[in-house]
Structure 1
Amino acid sequence: MKKINLSFILIATLLFINQFTTAQTKYELNTDWYCNPIKKTTADGFEISKTSYSLKKWMPATVPGTVLTTLLNNKEVPDPFYGMNNEKIKDIYETGREYYTYWFSKDFTETAKKDEQVWLTFRGINYSVDIFINGAKVNKERYKGMYLRKTFNITKFLNANSKNRLAVLVHPVDEVGNPNGGQGGDGTIAKNVSSQYVAGWDWIQPIRDRNTGIWDKVFIEKTGAINVKNPHIITLVDGVRLPEGPQQPATLKVSAELENSAATDVSGTIQYTLDGTLVTQKATLKALTTTEVSLPDFIMKNPKLWWPNGYGKQDSYAIDIKFIVDGKILDSEPVHFGVREIQTTWNTHTQSRQIAVNGQKIFIKGGNWIMSDAMLRLSKERYDTEIRFHRDMNLNLLRIWGGSLTERPEFYEACDKYGLLVIQDFWVSGDCNGRWVDPMKKEDQWTRRNYPDDHQLFTESAEDMVKMIRNYPSLAIWCGGNEITPSADILHSLKDEILPKLDGTRWFIDYSNSDEMSFNFKGGNGDGPYGIQDIATFWEERTWPFNSEIGSVGTGDAVSLKRFLPKKNQVIPQEMKGTEKVEDEAWTYHKYIAYGNTLKPYGTPTDMDDFATKAQLVNYDQYRGLMEGFSAHMWDWYTGTIIWKTQNPWTALRGQMYDYYLDPNACLYGTRKGSEPLHAMYNPVKGDIMIVNNTFVPQHDVMLRITSYDMKGNSQLLTQVFTYTEPSSTRLILSLKDKIAALTAKEGLFLSVQLLNLKQEIISDNFYWLADEKGNYSGLQNIASAPLQASAKKISTNTIALTVKNNEKNTISFFNRISLLDAKTSERVLPTFYSDNYISLVPGEEKIIELEYENLNNIDAEIEISGWNTPIQTLKIK
C-alpha cells in the first residue's frame, strides 16, 4: 500500500508540475558578439552566418551598442567625450555611409523541441538591417527604423545540433545630415525616423556614426504554438483619493495579443491571478494569425495606489498572463503595473492645463530629459541612478525631448519606482521639421515640414512604441513633438487612430509648447529663457502658465571639469565680446553658457578652481530661486514648470544637475531645496516670507522661525510664530523687507528660514546668503575661517552617517561640499547619494548627513569636506 500511495503521489506531482510549468524561456544575447566593416568583408550573409565561417579576424563588438561604442571599446578611436577628441573621429558625412556599415555576428546554442517555437527579437537597430541565420536569410525585406521592434520566428532556421550563428548587416541612417553647427545640422537628419541630435545641437557635438548599430537589446524567446504579446493594462480609479487609509475599489482591464504560429486553429484559455483570484477568458485563435483578447474586468478591493513623488507611495502589482491548452501553458507574459488614473483639466484661472492623479491635482515640478548617454550606452543601473537623482531633487515629472528617442522600458521602470511622471515626445523638432526660417538648413520650411520621408514607417514605429511602454504608471502624457507638431497626416494618425486604439487613457499634447498646454499670452515660442537670470525674474515676471522649458546654467565644480578638460584647457572661460563663444576652444566646443558678471560679486575668480567654486553658488541660487518663484505663484500664475534641462548625455557645460559621470553639483541641491514638498522661503524682491505646501494634507501648528546672522555669526531672531497651511497651496505669512534691507546694507547677511513641528524637529531648513546694498557679497569675501568638527561611521553595508558640528565660537561655516573618496586614489566614488550637500552651519549647530554608495564594501572609503571658509579635511570611516 505504501508503494502504491507513493507512486500515486509522484504521478500527481508530475501532472501538477506539467500543468503550471511554462514552455517559455527568454534570455538576452549580449555577449561574445563580433563585428567587421563591410569594406573589409568579402563574404556575404549566407556565408558569414554559417558556423564554419571564421570570425577570428573580426573585432569584439558591444551589443547592445553602436559602431562607435565598439570602436571606442577596442581603442580604435579616442573618447569623444574628452576635450576636443570628437574632432579626431571621422564623420559619416565626410566618409560616406559605407564607412560605418558593419557586420555583426553572434554564435548561440538553441534548438526547438516538438511543439516549441523560437523567436528572435530586436528591440532597436539603427537604421536598416539584413538578418541571416545558419546560411539563410531571415527577413525577406530590409528591416528599417530606429524605433521599431521586430520579432522573427527562427524555429525553422535552427541547426539540429543546436549550434547556430546569427549575422546582421547594419546600415546607417539613409540621410546622415551635414553637421554644420545648426540644431540638427542641416536638418536632413530628420528625413529618417531616428534621433535628430546626432547631427549636433546647442548642447552636443555630432555623433560621428549617427549611432549606427544594434543599439538596444536582442532576445531569444521560446514558446509553444501561442505567443503572448503586447499585454495592455488599464486601471480606472474614480473619485478623489488620498494616499493613506482604506481605498474604494479600482477597476483593472487586461488584454493581450495572442499570436498563433500553428497551421491549425488553437482553442484555450487566457488567464492571470491577482489577489488570490483567477481571471480567465476562453479563446479560439485562427491559424497563423494574431488576435487581441480581452479578459473580464477585475474589481480590485482596497487597492494600493501609485502616486507621484512627494505625494504618496509608488506601490505596484505583478501578474503573469498565461495561455493554457489542456492544462499545458503554451506561453506566459509577466507584467508589472501601478494602479492609478491620470486626469487633466483646463485651469481657467491660470489659463493652462493642470494634471491630476487619482483625482488629486499635482503641481508639476519637472525636468527635461534628453537621453541617458549620447552614444546609447544604456543600462538599468545608470537609469536607476539618474531617476533617483531626480526623485532626490523633489521633482515629479520628466519630459523626454522629441529630438531624441522613445526611452527604454528600464527607464520607465525607474520612473515607476521613484514616482516620476513622464511626458513622452514623438520624434520631431521645430528646428529640423520646419517651424522656423533657418539659414543653417539645407531645405526650406515647406520641404522640412513633410519630414520624415517615410510617414508609414513613422506611424508604424509609433504604434509599436505605444505598445512597448503603455503599461507603465509613470507614463502620463504623449506629445506630438518638440515645439512643432508632426505633419498633418502623422498627427491625425497619432491623435485620432493610434492612441485612441492602443491607449486612450492619457492626455495627448499636439506639441510641447502648444496652446493646448499653456496659453501663450507673451508670444514667441512659449518656452525659455535658458541662461542666467536675475533671481527677481523668477518671482516677479510672469511667464507661460505651464512652461515646458525654462532653465539656467549648470557648470560642474573643478573636480568635474578636470574629468574631460585637458590640462591646457583648465582655465577661466573668457567671453568673446558679441558672441556666445569663449576664448578657449574646449569650453566653446563643450557648449559653455556664460555666467556673465554673476561671479564678480563674490570676488573675481583667480583660477579655474576658484571660478568653479563660485559658479556653484550661482548654480544653487539660480535653481532654488527658479523653483521657489514658480511655487510662490502655484495655481495663481502657474500649474507647473519644466526645467530645461536637468541632465546631459554628453560632457556639455550647460543645463545639468549632475555631470555625465553622475557627480552632482550645486544645481541639484538648490533644486532640491526649492522643491521641498513643505517649504518655507524668502522672496528677495518683496521681502516676503511664504510657505508652500505641496502635499494633500493640511499642516497645522507648524512653527515658522526666521533668524538673521551677520558675518561674525551673531544671530537675531526676527520672528517665531505658529502658523498653518492648507493642502496644495502657497501662503504669505509676513514681510520683513525693511528689516532685512537694514541688516544687509553694510556687508550682507545670512538668513535662516525654518519650519518646525510640535516635536521641535526641523522639517524645512532654508539658508540664504544676501548681498550688501551695492549687490556685492563683501562680507563673504572677508569672512573668518570656521573649521568643522566631523566624524563618520558606517551604519549599513552601503551607508555612512557623517556628523558635522560648528563650534559655538565660530562664525558661519558656509557652503560645504561633502565628497566620498576612495582613499587609494583620492578620487570621488560615483555615483554617491547625499541626503544633503553644499551645507552651511551656524555657530553651535550640528547636522547629520547620510552618504550612500552601493559598493562601499569594495573601497577604502574616506570623506572630504571643503567649504567657502572651512579648511579642507578628510576623515576615515569608523
Structure 2
Amino acid sequence: MTLFSPFKFCLFIALLSFTISKSDAQSRYELSTGWKCKPVGELAGGSNRIFAPGYDISQWMPATVPGTVLTTLLNNHKIPDPFYGMNNKYIRDIYDTGSEYYTYWFVNDFEKSIPGGDSQVYLNLRGVNYSSEVYLNGKKLNKQTHHGMFLRQRYNITALLNRSGKNRLAVLVYPPNPVGNPNGGQGGDGTIARNVGLQYTAGWDWIQPVRDRNTGIWDKVTIETAGSVSITDPHIVTLVPGIRQVKGKQQPAVIKVSATVSNPTGKVINGVLQFTITGQKVFKKVMVKPGSSNEINLDDLLLKDPKLWWPNGYGNPYLYKASVQFFVGNKISDAQEINVGVREIQTSWNTQTNSRQIEVNGQKIFIKGGNWIISDAMLRFSDWRYDAEVRFHRDMNLNLIRVWGGALVERPEFYNACDKYGLLVFQDFWISGDANGRWVDPMKKDDQWVRRKYPDDHVLYLRSVADQVKMVRNHPSLAVWCGGNEITPPEDILLAVRDTILPKLDGTRLFVEYSNSDKMSLNTLGGNGDGPYGIQPDSLFWKERTFPFNSEIGSVGIGDYESLKRFIPDQNMVAPVFSTEKNKSTTDSVWNYHKYIGYDAAIEPYGKATGARDFAAKAQLVNYNQYRALIEGFSAHMWDWYTGVMIWKTQNPWTAMRGQMYDYYLDPNACLYGLHNGSEPLHVMYNPLNGMVTIVNNTFETRRDLMLVVKTYDISGKEKQITQVFEEILPSSVKGFVPIKSGIDKLAKEEGLFLSLQLLDIKKNILSNNLYWLPDEHGEYSGLKKMAPSKLMIKAVQTTPGTVLVSLTNPTDAPVAFFNRLSLIDGQTHNRLLPVFYSDNYVSVLPGEQKSVTMNYDISKYSQTPFVSINGWNLKEQYVPVTSGNAK
C-alpha cells in the first residue's frame, strides 16, 4: 500500500524545509567517562557477580576508555611512564606474565531510559583489542566471542534497557593470541601477525615492545538513539571530469550517494532518504520491510560551479557541509553529517619515469609524502593531537601521508584532519614484509612458508577490511589503498580485496598490491630501490637514483636538548662519541634503548661536540640540511626520474631517536623546517653537483617575471652579488638557470660562505628565500667556528589571541645572524608551550634584512602571556617579553 498519493507526496517534499523537526529521540554521545576495570584474575566468585543487584564496583580501578590496559595502569600510577628512560624495560611483558595478567573487565554504569514509540537505542564499539564478550544488564550481546581489533560492533540494546534508566555495560577484553615473543626482531618473533591487529606492539627498529600489546577498549564507545529507521555506512562519490584549474568558473561535478537503511521494528516503515548539499537535495521514497536492511541509491546530484578540493600546495582543500537524512512523516528518524570534498583521484603510468603518477581533478601531482606509523603507540588518540600532527605535515609543504601497514587503518578523526589540511593518504592494510615472511629472518619463530599464510583467520581479515573501508571511504583525502607494507597479503586475501571488496564498496581509488610494488615503480634503470634510511652526504639525493616512486627513504631526526630532556634522565644525557679511526660511535644505553640512529661523522665538520646540549644543537644543522637536500634532490628530477617520494618517517608515536620532524611531545626540530623550505611549491635551489641555480614550480601556473637574485656573504657578513635576472618557469616543471659552481667554490675555499638564493615577484615580494652554508675546501665549517656574535634585534607582539608575531632585524654592519631557534615559552618556568606552529624556524637573517615569524598556539591552554626564547649559532639565548598591540 502506498503511503502518499502523488500530490500529497510532492506537497510533503515541498514543505520539508519548513516543517521538518528533529526527532527528540535522535542523538549520539560518547561513553568516555565513568569506566571502572579489574583484572579477570582478581574477580573472585565468577563474572556473574558483576550483574548481581547492588554489586559495588566503586573500589574498582578507574579505567581510561578509549584506551588500553597499560594506559589505565599509567593513569593510576601503577606503572612508570614507559616512554621515559628505561622504564619500559621494567614493566612486565605479557609474553612472560601470560595473557590473564592483562585480561580485564571494563564496566560502565550509565543512564539511558527506554525510548518512546518506535525509537531504537544502539551501542557502538568502534574498536576492541583483541577479543571481547559484551554484556548489558546481565544479558550477553554477542552470541559468540567477538574477535578482531579492526571490526566494529553494533548492537540494538533497546529491549535490554532497564526501566529505571540505570544500566550496566560490562566488557571482558582478552589480549591478542598469540602475543608474540618480543625478542628484538621486527615484530618480535613475528607471531603477533597471526592476529588481525597491530604488528609493531612486539617491537620494531623504532620502538620497544608495548607490554600489554595494546589490550583494551581502544576506540570510541557510543550510545546512539534513532527513530524506527537508522542510517549506516553512507557512501559519497564525487566525479570531476576533465582537467580542472584551481581558479575560475568550474564545469559541473556529479555527486553519487547511497546509504544503508535498517528497520529493526516489526512493521513496514515508509519514509524518505534525502541528501542535502548547499541547499540542493536529492531524495527517494523508501519502503523498509520489518527486520531488514537495504542499500538505497539516490539519483545523481549535479553540482554547478563546484568549489573543488585540492591537495596541499596546489589549491584550497574546500569542504562542503552535507547531510544524509531519513524522514518518517515530518520528523528525522536518523541523520549523518558529512564533510564532502569534491574531487576525483586518477592515476596513470608515466613512461618517462616508469612509475605511477597520481592526478587530482585531472592535474598531475608530484607526491611529496611522509610515512606515518600511528599518533600514539599506546593508542591515546585525540582530535586535537591528530589535528596538530597533520598540520605539521601541511607546514612541511608535504601533500601525502602514507599510513604504514604494521599499524592500523587510521581513525576518521585523522582523516578529518587530512581533509582539512589537504593531505592525500596512502593507506596500507595490516601486512608487513618483516612479519609476513618476505625475507629469511632468524628472529622469527616460523619459517617463511608459514608466515606467508598469516594471519590465521582469513575470513576475519576480509570482514575487517570491508568494515574499515566503509568507515573511511567518504574522505576526499584518501587516495590509495595498499595491500601491505613491502609484501602482498596471502593470495586468497589479495584477490578478495582487489577483485571483490574494493570494487563493491569503493571502486574510486587505486589499489596497490604492496607499498613498493611494480604497480608503483618499475626499477628498470638500475636505481637503488627504497631507502637509504641513514644519514647521507647531501649531494647523494641529487646524484643517486632510487625507485621512481620511492615509498620509503629517510635519515636522522633527534630533537634539541629541550626535547631530549623530556625522556632522557640527567645521568644519561651523554652525547655519542664518534671515533674517526673506527668510523663508529659509542652511545649511552638509554639512547640505544630509544633506537638512536647515528650521526657519526656528520657532526664533526661543525666541531667536536662538547656535550649533549652542543651535540643536539649541531645535530639540528645536519637535520635541516639532510631533509632540505632530500626533497630538493627528488624535486630536481621530478617527471624525469621520479613521480613521488615518501620520507621514512616523519613522526614517532614513541620517544624514539630517529626519523622524525617533531618529537612525541609535538615539539618540532630542524628537520621540519628543512622540509618546509625545500618543499615549498615555488622554490629556488642550488645543485651541489653542477652548481646550477634551479627553480622548481609545483603549481599549475606559469610563473613569469620572477626576479632571481644570487648573492654570497662571507663569515663577517660582507655581501657579494653574483647575478640578478628576470626568469619564467612553466607549470609543474624544473628548470636550471645559472651555473655558478666554479665561482662559489673559489669564494668558499678558505673558510666557507653563505649562499643566498631568492625569487621575487614583480612587486618585489619574496616568493622563495633559500640560504645555504657551504663548507671550506676540506669539508669543514671553519668559518662558522669563528663567527662574530650576532647583533640581531628581536621584537615580539601578540597581534591576536593565540598569535604572536616576532620581528627579527639584523643591522647592515653585522654578520649573518645564523640558525636561530625560536620558541614560545612560559614566562615563569621557561618551559616551551606545546604544540606551537611556527611559520618558519631555525631562521637565519642576513645583514640589513628583516624577517617575521608568526607563532600560533592554543590560548585556552595558557592563560598568561608567553615569552619568546631565541638562541642561535652566534646568538646566546635571550628571553623576549611578548607585548600587546600592533605588529609594526
Q: Would the alpha carbon gap of residues 355 and 548 (structure 1) be closer, same or farther in structure 2, given more than 3 Å must change?
A: same
Q: Distance in 1 between matches of 2:582 and 2:473?
A: 47
Q: Would the alpha carbon gap of residues 575 and 711 (structure 1) be closer, same or farther in structure 2, given more than 3 Å must change?
A: closer
Q: Aligned with 1:827: secondary structure?
A: coil
Residue range with higher mean Cα deviation, 325-334 or 73-82: 325-334
Alpha-carbon displacement from aligned partner over 1:102-129 (angstroms, at most 9, x marks no partner): 0000011112222111000000000011
Which of residues 327, 333, 336 is equivalent to 1:333?
336
Verify the 8 A CA contact 1:787 1:871 in the aligned structure 2.
Answer: no
Counterpart in 1 of 2:350? 347
Alpha-carbon displacement from aligned partner over 1:43-64 (angstroms, at most 9, x marks no partner): 5444314562100220000000
Counterpart in 1 of 2:561? 558
Verify the 8 A CA contact 1:46 1:136 in the aligned structure 2.
Answer: no
Q: Aligned with 1:183: secondary structure?
A: coil
Q: Distance in 2 between matches of 1:860 and 1:305?
A: 39
Counterpart in 2 of 1:54? 56
1:877 corresponds to 2:885: no
Q: Distance in 2 between matches of 1:801 and 1:274?
A: 38
* Paired AA for residue 760 in structure 1: K
Q: Distance in 1 between matches of 2:116 and 2:286?
A: 25
Counterpart in 2 of 1:143? 146
* Paired AA for residue 520 in structure 2: M
Q: How far is the alpha carbon of 1:325 from its aligned partner?
A: 2.4
Counterpart in 1 of 2:298? 295
Correspondence list, 1:678-697, <5 A: 678-697=682-701
Counterpart in 2 of 1:6? none
Q: Aligned with 2:652: secondary structure?
A: coil
Counterpart in 1 of 2:266? 263
Counterpart in 2 of 1:633? 637
Q: Aligned with 1:535: secondary structure?
A: coil
Unaligned runs of 5+ in 1: 1-12
1:517 corresponds to 2:520: yes
* Paired AA for residue 725 in structure 1: I
Q: Would the alpha carbon gap of residues 797 and 522 (structure 1) be closer, same or farther in structure 2, given more than 3 Å must change?
A: same
Q: Aligned with 1:795: secondary structure?
A: strand
Verify the 8 A CA contact 1:558 1:608 in the aligned structure 2.
Answer: yes
Q: Distance in 2 between matches of 1:829 and 1:431?
A: 38
Which of residues 794, 799, 802 is equivalent to 1:795?
799
Alpha-carbon displacement from aligned partner over 1:337-373 (angstroms, at most 9, x marks no partner): 1000000000000000000000000000000000000
Q: How far is the alpha carbon of 1:139 from its aligned partner?
A: 1.2
Counterpart in 2 of 1:79? 81
1:749 corresponds to 2:753: yes
Which of residues 824, 836, 847 is equivalent to 1:843?
847
* Paired AA for residue 58 in structure 1: W
Correspondence list, 1:754-773, <5 A: 754-773=758-777
Alpha-carbon displacement from aligned partner over 1:299-331 (angstroms, at most 9, x marks no partner): 000111000001011111122211122323221
Counterpart in 2 of 1:23? 25
Which of residues 853, 861, 870 is equivalent to 2:866?
861
Counterpart in 2 of 1:660? 664
Q: Distance in 2 between matches of 1:622 and 1:56?
A: 55
Q: Distance in 1 between matches of 2:518 and 2:158?
A: 51
Q: Would the alpha carbon gap of residues 381 and 50 (structure 1) be closer, same or farther in structure 2, given more than 3 Å must change?
A: farther
Work out the percentage of aligned pairs sharing the same amino acid: 58
Residue range with higher mean Cα deviation, 517-526 or 363-372: 517-526
1:187 corresponds to 2:190: yes
Q: Aligned with 1:871: secondary structure?
A: strand
Verify the 8 A CA contact 2:353 2:640 in the aligned structure 1.
Answer: yes
Correspondence list, 1:402-417, <5 A: 402-417=405-420
Q: How far is the alpha carbon of 1:233 from its aligned partner?
A: 0.2
Q: Distance in 1 between matches of 2:880 and 2:284?
A: 64
Verify the 8 A CA contact 1:538 1:625 in the aligned structure 2.
Answer: yes
* Paired AA for residue 55 in structure 1: I
Counterpart in 2 of 1:424? 427
* Paired AA for residue 374 in structure 2: M
Which of residues 452, 456, 464 is equivalent to 1:453?
456
Verify the 8 A CA contact 2:695 2:734 in the aligned structure 1.
Answer: yes
Residue range with higher mean Cα deviation, 337-346 or 868-877: 868-877
Q: How far is the alpha carbon of 1:482 from its aligned partner?
A: 0.1
1:472 corresponds to 2:481: no
Counterpart in 2 of 1:131? 134
Q: How far is the alpha carbon of 1:788 from its aligned partner?
A: 1.3
Q: Aligned with 1:414: secondary structure?
A: helix
Q: Aligned with 1:495: secondary structure?
A: helix
Alpha-carbon displacement from aligned partner over 1:52-107 (angstroms, at most 9, x marks no partner): 21002200000000000000000000000000000110000000000000000001
Q: Would the alpha carbon gap of residues 129 and 463 (structure 1) be closer, same or farther in structure 2, given more than 3 Å must change?
A: same
Verify the 8 A CA contact 1:526 1:547 in the aligned structure 2.
Answer: yes
Verify the 8 A CA contact 1:22 1:328 in the aligned structure 2.
Answer: no
Verify the 8 A CA contact 1:51 1:134 in the aligned structure 2.
Answer: no
Verify the 8 A CA contact 1:521 1:544 in the aligned structure 2.
Answer: no
* Paired AA for residue 180 in structure 1: N
Q: How far is the alpha carbon of 1:14 from its aligned partner?
A: 14
* Paired AA for residue 332 in structure 2: I
Counterpart in 2 of 1:387? 390
Q: Aligned with 1:877: secondary structure?
A: strand
Q: Distance in 2 between matches of 1:391 and 1:22?
A: 40
How does the TM-score come out when normalised to structure 2?
A: 0.96
- Equivalenced residue count is 866
Q: Aligned with 1:538: secondary structure?
A: helix
How does the TM-score come out when normalised to structure 1?
A: 0.97
Counterpart in 2 of 1:309? 312
Unaligned runs of 5+ in 2: 1-14, 884-888
Verify the 8 A CA contact 2:271 2:329 in the aligned structure 1.
Answer: yes
Q: How far is the alpha carbon of 1:523 from its aligned partner?
A: 7.2
Q: Distance in 2 between matches of 1:354 and 1:51?
A: 63
1:120 corresponds to 2:90: no
Q: Would the alpha carbon gap of residues 501 and 132 (structure 1) be closer, same or farther in structure 2, given more than 3 Å must change?
A: same
Counterpart in 1 of 2:11? none
Q: Distance in 2 between matches of 1:647 and 1:716?
A: 40
Q: How far is the alpha carbon of 1:224 from its aligned partner?
A: 1.5
Verify the 8 A CA contact 1:662 1:830 in the aligned structure 2.
Answer: yes
Q: Distance in 2 between matches of 1:608 and 1:866?
A: 16
Verify the 8 A CA contact 1:513 1:525 in the aligned structure 2.
Answer: no
Q: Distance in 1 between matches of 2:31 and 2:724?
A: 63
Q: Aligned with 1:778: secondary structure?
A: coil
Counterpart in 2 of 1:708? 712
* Paired AA for residue 91 in structure 2: I
Q: How far is the alpha carbon of 1:21 from its aligned partner?
A: 3.8
Q: How far is the alpha carbon of 1:275 from its aligned partner?
A: 2.8
Verify the 8 A CA contact 2:23 2:333 in the aligned structure 1.
Answer: no
Q: Distance in 2 between matches of 1:400 and 1:274?
A: 30
Q: How far is the alpha carbon of 1:581 from its aligned partner?
A: 7.9
Q: How far is the alpha carbon of 1:19 from its aligned partner?
A: 4.6
Q: Aligned with 1:863: secondary structure?
A: strand
Counterpart in 2 of 1:736? 740
Q: How far is the alpha carbon of 1:520 from its aligned partner?
A: 2.2
Counterpart in 1 of 2:619? 615
Superposition RMSD on alpha carbons, in Å? Answer: 1.6
Q: Aligned with 2:722: secondary structure?
A: strand
Verify the 8 A CA contact 1:321 1:334 in the aligned structure 2.
Answer: yes
Q: Aligned with 1:206: secondary structure?
A: coil
Residue range with higher mean Cα deviation, 51-60 or 631-640: 51-60
